[in-house]
Chain A
Amino acid sequence: MTPETTQSVSQHSVSDVASGHDAHAHGHAPTGLMRWLLTTNHKEIGTLYMLFSLLMLFIGGTMALVIRAELFQPGLQYVQPEFFNQMTTMHGLIMVFGAIMPAFVGLANWMIPLQVGAPDMALPRLNNFSFWLLPVAFTTLLATLFMEGGGPNFGWTFYAPLSTTYAPPSTNFFILSIHLAGISSILGAINIIATILNLRTPGMRLMDMSLFVWTWLITAFLLIAVMPVLAGVVTMMLLDINFGTSFFDAAGGGDPVLFQHLFWFFGHPEVYIMILPAFGIVSLIVPAFARKRLFGYASMVYATASIAILSFVVWAHHMFTVGLPLTAELFFMYSTMLIAVPTGVKVFNWIATLFRGSISFETPMLFSLGFIVMFTIGGLSGVMLAIVPADFQYHDTYFVVAHFHYVLVPGALFAIMAAAYYWMPKWTGHYANETLGKWHFWLSVIGVNLTFFPMHFSGLAGMPRRIPDYALQFADFNMLSSIGGFLFGFSQLIFVWVVIKAVRGGVKAPAKAWEGAEGLEWAVPSPAPLHTFDTPPEFVPERDSPSRHSDH
């Protein structure tokens, strides 16, 4: 959208419209539970998303601890293999669709309208619908654990025919819960794109936007492009299970590998859906605490877009061992390696921003620095996995588990934590407790590395993933991983304490809570009032914006 068209926003917001707004929005606000059930306010919905995500983090985390307890020693200890499979499956599904994605959507809800100077999301009622679908979806998903035959036990990737021919009866409910979560994601993404493209304050050009807004714009595009493909593939599963079709059954002319192609056409962009907003968050926090402008704003935007485009042509690197033609293996190997280029641009950008900066180490900065180091470890093991002949060895081992946990836990989750500490003053009016925050960070760093670093070694030594028992030579690494897992899991309780403390009191924050921080969200008071920007705010290009430099 050009500056001319954004300017027209104010011209058309005629005043008779504003009077209607006042009469309705501030008339009779419901209270108690109804307030939250009916809310169309982006801050309240953002809070709901994040609280839901925190609850799911602990439910999914408990399942992870069941897994780690079972794997503490060789042999079957606490659970039966059938239940163990349900735990690995549900842990993955809940963390991906219930914890990480809703946390980012919650941050988007809270911060995007504040960062673009909008009064709310573009379609506030749709926003309410998007959120409240999630509790229904995940109640359904969790309920499958108590159904006859148990819950999903085929891994979070639910490959056919494990998820069709050999699946438990509850799989129908699993499919419907994926549909509900998918509808929620698509509608949420539509709302985010419309907000960013249509509700920016007059004068804010696309290249003036905060990088969190930029990365979410691209993420929302990915969501709208691939969530329908997930809906399509689970619909085909539903038909195979209940109506006798042959999509994933070679006996009728179908192909189980077709499932994997469709799933990963969704699944690989999904991976970036979970990391691109994290890039945006770190790109705000690092300049704020290094007290320097971001080394390369434009290159960050182009790198994000490049990663998103490449994400559509790399999916089969998850399937190297399934029996692809050689040309396909070569194509997907090289296209995957290409992703290292824009990702490298980003890491270089953050490090160059830190170079000769005036750095201070508050908790948001610690989590961001942890992100940069440990996400890069996950990125490098990703390049190893991209090499076809090497992947033949690594495939379905704990090396893969180590890789994707490094990008998702000290990657995506650390960025979410960094964002929570960074914007806590804006949400609650109080700074998060620095001492507790530092304890949370350091225990998390130790816990996460103790859990996942040894998995590289057990994986390279040949330990397969998704098994409840293992050969004796893997015992030491697994014991370390289990100790680390419990340390990491219980450390997250500190975060709950931090949040409760910040909500109830603490050091009061001014409107601009961090001296190096820039962005429109710091122009409103802390805590941000329920309604902000009833009129379009005056926009001053940010420190990182190219237009700032052309102006001076």
Chain B
Amino acid sequence: MTSQYYVPPTSKWPIIAVIVVGCTALGAGSLMTYGSGLPFLLIGLAGIAFVMYGWFRDVINESMGGLYDMQMDRSFRQGMGWFIFSEVMFFAAFFGALFYIRVFALPWLDGEGAKGVTALLWPDFTASWPLMNTPDPSIGGPDAVINPWTLPLINTILLVTSSVTLTIAHHALKEGNRAKLKNWLIGTIALGLVFLVIQGIEYVEAWTQLGLTLQSGIYGSTFFLLTGFHGLHVTIGAIVLIVLLFRVMKGHFTADNHFAFEAGAWYWHFVDVVWIGLFLFVYVF
């Protein structure tokens, strides 16, 4: 065992990251609690963007400089894999909440089951899904919900297609075909961005025309919670893909050494799979 381990040198980025994340939390907290603190929030968010730029730039430079060995590569892979697992569990909590509400809580409020005494709270309440009439009428349900076979179907096709195009780009990278890689990656990003635009249109329609808002009872709550956090993840994934595109154009990645590309692709496929769950259980059924 004569070979030496690689240990990355000290970096100033982690502690700067802590400062800007703390600044973001402080800003968000005081904005919600006291109605002021927006500057802190914005500085914090800009700081997070700056840190991610600087930290990743250092890591990319070290990687391009040939400092990393196979062991470091495996650490990155395992780190990304477990990070995505943690994201899966984050969404699992929200899906679990959705199923609990639909399968247990609402029927019980309607008087079903041996513990149906909660039906005494609002005797006129009738459970349904989507829940158009909330138990307490003062909260008020939505007037209508999104038809899954219009914009959501288009979005499903877009996102599933984008997973396919990204895979084609990945194969192009492994074949060393840079032009094909670049074009299919651009196509993937375009599909992701169109998805986000359509999601935006759908949100405006829901909010202004259908009366479907965060405040319209549990249907609106779960709808915006699940689609909103998914949209946030598509946004993050699209930014990752755009960064990867810039790196491709600068000539980064080789046919057999391109972990960052793979990590971005894993993340994109994960976001895609979550959408299929959303399409089925939030929109269709």
Contacts from A to B (Cβ < 8 Å): 8-18, 20-21, 24-25, 27, 29-30, 37-40, 118-120, 122-126, 128-129, 132-133, 136, 140, 147, 169-170, 172-173, 176-177, 179-180, 183, 186, 189-191, 193-194, 197-199, 201-202, 224-229, 231-233, 235-236, 238-239, 241-247, 249-255, 257-258, 261-262, 265, 323-326, 531, 533-538
- Identify which of A29, A228, A254, A324 contacts B87 (C-beta below 8 A): A228
Q: How far is the CB of B278 from chain A (nearest CB, A)?
A: 15
Q: Which 7 A-B pairs have the closest CB atoms?
A: A24-B9, A232-B93, A18-B4, A253-B218, A12-B70, A251-B136, A228-B90
Q: How far is the CB of A15 from chain B (nearest CB, A)?
A: 7
- Extra 17 A-B pairs, beta carbons < 8 Å, given A13-B4, A194-B74, A258-B97: A18-B4, A18-B6, A24-B10, A30-B10, A123-B79, A124-B7, A128-B11, A129-B14, A129-B18, A132-B14, A172-B33, A191-B79, A244-B215, A246-B134, A246-B217, A251-B135, A251-B138
How many A-B pairs with Cβ below 8 Å?
Answer: 270
Q: How far is the CB of B3 from chain A (nearest CB, A)?
A: 4
Chain B residues whose CB sits within 8 angstroms of the CB of A228 once the complex forms: 86-87, 89-90, 92-93
Asked if B225 and A236 make an inter-chain contact with CB atoms under 8 angstroms apart, the answer reads yes
Please measure, in the bound complex, the distance between the C-alpha atom of A38 and the C-alpha atom of B12, giving whole angstroms.
6
Chain B contact residues: helix, strand, loop or mixed: helix
- Identify which of B4, B10, B85, B118 contacts A535 (C-beta below 8 A): B4
Asked if A258 and B14 make an inter-chain contact with CB atoms under 8 angstroms apart, the answer reads no
A27-B9, A128-B14, A535-B5 known; A245-B214 Cβ under 8 A? yes
A12-B71, A14-B3, A262-B97 known; A247-B21 Cβ under 8 A? no
Q: How far is the CB of A520 from chain B (nearest CB, A)?
A: 13
Please measure, in the bound complex, the distance between the C-alpha atom of A236 and the C-alpha atom of B224, giving whole angstroms.
11
- Identify which of B2, B11, B28, B89 contacts A40 (C-beta below 8 A): B11
Within B101-144, the residues touching A (CB, 8 Å) are 101, 104-106, 109, 113-115, 117-118, 121, 131, 134-136, 138-139, 141
Within B193-234, the residues touching A (CB, 8 Å) are 214-215, 217-222, 224-225
Asked if B5 and A180 make an inter-chain contact with CB atoms under 8 angstroms apart, the answer reads no
Q: How far is the CB of B34 from chain A (nearest CB, A)?
A: 8
Asked if A38 and B11 make an inter-chain contact with CB atoms under 8 angstroms apart, the answer reads yes
Q: How far is the CB of B37 from chain A (nearest CB, A)?
A: 11
Q: How far is the CB of B58 from chain A (nearest CB, A)?
A: 9
A40-B10, A258-B105, A326-B114 known; A118-B5 Cβ under 8 A? yes
**Interface bin, chain B:** 35 or more
Asked if A193 and B214 make an inter-chain contact with CB atoms under 8 angstroms apart, the answer reads no
Please measure, in the bound complex, the distance between the C-alpha atom of A303 and the C-alpha atom of B231, giving whole angstroms.
41
Question: Which of A24, A245, A258, A535 counts the most chain B CB atoms within 10 A?
Answer: A245
Asked if B28 and A253 make an inter-chain contact with CB atoms under 8 angstroms apart, the answer reads no
Chain A residues whose CB sits within 8 angstroms of the CB of B115 once the complex forms: 323-325
Please measure, in the bound complex, the distance between the C-alpha atom of A325 and the C-alpha atom of B100, giving whole angstroms.
13
Asked if A133 and B21 make an inter-chain contact with CB atoms under 8 angstroms apart, the answer reads yes
Query: Chain A residue with minimal CB distance to B17?
Result: A129
Map CB proximity to A onto B53-78 as digits: 1 under 8 Å, 0 otherwise: 00100000000011111110011101
Chain B residues whose CB sits within 8 angstroms of the CB of A18 once the complex forms: 3-6
- Identify which of B17, B75, B96, B225 contacts A123 (C-beta below 8 A): B75
Chain B residues whose CB sits within 8 angstroms of the CB of A245 once the complex forms: 214-215, 220-221, 224-225
Please measure, in the bound complex, the distance between the C-alpha atom of A249 and the C-alpha atom of B218, giving whole angstroms.
9
A and B contact pairs by CB, cutoff 8 A, 11 listed: A13-B6, A13-B71, A38-B14, A122-B79, A136-B25, A173-B29, A186-B86, A224-B82, A233-B93, A257-B105, A535-B3
Chain B residues whose CB sits within 8 angstroms of the CB of A238 once the complex forms: 32
